[in-house]
Every structure is written in C-alpha cells, then in structure tokens.
Copies of this chain bind each other. A is one copy, B any other.
C-alpha cells in the first residue's frame, strides 16, 4: 500500500525550492567559515536517554522515538510502549553539539568555533508554516568566557545576513543577570524568576498595564509588582545606563558588546532590550535575537549557556550559541525574490537522425562556457518546445547541426 504524500508535517522540495535552500545554506556556510567557524556534523539519531535527559524542555515531549529491533524488542516489556524505544530523532543541534564536544574534546582546539547545519525533528501539531522536520543553522563558540565570543558571533551573523541581501535588521540584546537583578531588587524570591520573566517578556504585546494585571492575578505582592514596574519604567527611560548600579557585570558586558558592534560598519542596529527573555532555560547571561524590519518574530537568536557542557561532560566549559531560523530566511527570500541566479542555462536540441556521439561532444564542449547545458530531442512543434524551455528557466538554446562551424546560442523570442 503506497501513499504518494510525505508523512504529516514532513516535506519534499521541488527543484526551485531546493535551489533556494541550497543557495542559502551555501552562503551561510561560506560566510561563517570566513570568520573561522569550522563545520561539523552530528548524528541525526541520539540515544533516547540524551533526549529525555531534561535540557530539552518542551521539545522532549515532541520526540520521534525509534523502536528497538530484533532480540532487544523481543525481550522488551510490551506492557509499556515507553520501554520499546532505544533511540530518537534529535530535536535541536545544541544537545548533539555538547555531546560531540564532550566526546571529542581532546581533538578540538581550546576555543572551538563550531558550525552546524542540518535537520531537526519535532512531533508538533502540524499547522501552516510549522513543520515536523526542519533545518537549523547554528554557530557556537565553546571555551571562551570573554564576550569576544558574543561579539564574533553577532558580527558574523550580521555579515551573513547582509550577504543574503537583508538590510533592515535589528539586534536585540539583554543579559539574564540584569533581569534577575531587577526581579530580586523588587523583592521577589529567586525561585519565581522564570515565571516573572515569562510575563515580562510580553511587555511589548500587552503593555505595562497588561503585565501588572497578569502578575497580580498570579497572587504576587502588590508592592513587589509595583516596584518591578517602577524599575522597568526607569530602565525604559534610561536605557542601558539605568542598570549600571543594579547589575554592574551585566552592564559592563552589554556596554562593551554594543559599543564594538556599533563601531564596525553601518547597517548593524543593536539595541538593549531588558524585556528580552528567550525560551530556553539553559541561558546563563547574554541573550540576543535578530528581528527583520517589521516582521512580528525573530529570525535568529541565541545566548550564553555556561553550565550545559558541564552537565554532560562533567567539566564546566563556557559556551555561546546562535541559531538562524533557516526556514524563515528561505521564506523571506522566496517572498522578496532576492535570489541571485546561477548563470546561463542552455538547452541543446538535436534530432534522431543526428549522430549521438557528436551531439554529446557538443554538450561537453558547451559546458565549458555555460553553467548548465541540457540535451533535448527536438520536437515537431519547435515554438511550443521553446516556450516550455523558457518556462523551465533556460536562458537560450542551440539547435545542433553537423555542418555549421560553430554552435550558435539563440535567445528565446519575447512574447
């Protein structure tokens, strides 16, 4: 019983889509490599224990689990299907990277600048624009505790987005320690920090009144909530200088990053945004994301996660990571038609009575001058064939002839 559609939420890519995907990957890869990031690849399949180990948050609930095979399955406890999976498909590239680093640390440089591009899998409820298999593009700097790591990452992603012809993007940056400092200064307990942060993250959507209402509905003390709102109000007014006293280490960190990034070239708009929270629990200090013109969402984001490598390898190693929303970039390029073309595509037409050897030889020769040369048998209705070739993206055609001296490339006629 065959089905011709891919499974729910999975995709095939037609030539035009695939061309854009490959183009974007190549551009990103080449630009990242220029800055000294080296590419690695990690297994798409992980041992199930790594995926359910706790750092995946919500993603751990969206696993595609792979069933045991052979004797292992025969001897397994059938009463609980949870026991029947030994592997799973990875849900991000960060966990595999950290496992990879723990496994290969002795063969890697002290400061390891990693680039990874590849598919990840999440069994989310399918909906428009959300897929169950999608590509992520990550860069990470492992082993550098200075904010040179953040600066290099932000500089590299900026030049990459420029290479892809994006101009109006804004880098929003924050430091988790700042958020923590103001929450605690307002009198909240450390344990409720994440909960408060989630509400604060909505400031630009629901406004200061909305935040107040939501926090009060959660039964936090009215004094603390008011103190927090006063603090955030003064931060909105004073910008980064407003936190100099409350969180000097966060202040110094962000001030340096912002200064350096602003100094590099025009086009990099970087803003301190104390309401930026970001989802993943593992970030420890700097967090940042990139928004593009007036899209309502980030097209890329990342942060510092200094504790995660230690959790898996047993040795604490500082790390900063950054992920581009590859599918969003592709969608934007498709909608804005920013793709540069790949060079001239030529169709070489021939007929059955012509010697195939000579035809093939001509094709080989033409391939030295043209990006693509594809053979086609000439059809009786030449006009119709030419208009089809034009639709397929060919830029011109050659009619093969044994008597002509050269093979003349002709353009399709305008309609």
Contact = CB atoms under 8 A, between A and B. Distances in A.
Interface stretch (A39-47, A171-179, A199-207): A39-47
Contact of A265 (B34, B148, B364): B364
A195 interface: no
Contact of A42 (B12, B47, B89, B107): B12
A98 to B, nearest CB: 9
A212 interface: no
Nearest to A263: B357
A392 B363 CA distance: 42
A339 interface: no
Contacts of A373: 34-36
Nearest to A113: B374
A356 B46 contact: no
Contact of A364 (B1, B109, B264, B313): B264
Contacts of A244: none
8 contacts: A2-B311, A12-B41, A22-B39, A35-B372, A44-B44, A65-B67, A109-B392, A260-B356
A10 B81 contact: no
B46 A100 contact: no
A278 interface: no
A320 to B, nearest CB: 14
Given A66-B66, A357-B259, A133 B43 contact: yes
Interface string A62-80: 0011110100010010110
Given A1-B49, A12-B104, A81-B73, A43 B7 contact: yes
A328 interface: no
A84 B81 contact: yes
A77 to B, nearest CB: 10
A130 interface: no
A296 interface: no
A164 B165 CA distance: 32
Contacts of A104: 12, 14
A198 interface: no
Contacts of A371: 33-34
B64 A41 contact: no
A410 interface: no
Interface string A2-35: 1111110011111100110110001001000111
A234 interface: no
Contacts of A76: 81
Contacts of A311: 2
A360 B81 contact: no
A87 B64 contact: yes
Interface stretch (A151-159, A225-233, A246-254, A285-293): A151-159
A212 B256 CA distance: 81
A18 to B, nearest CB: 5
Interface in A336-366: 342, 345, 347, 356-357, 360-361, 363-364
Contacts of A376: 111
Nearest to A125: B70
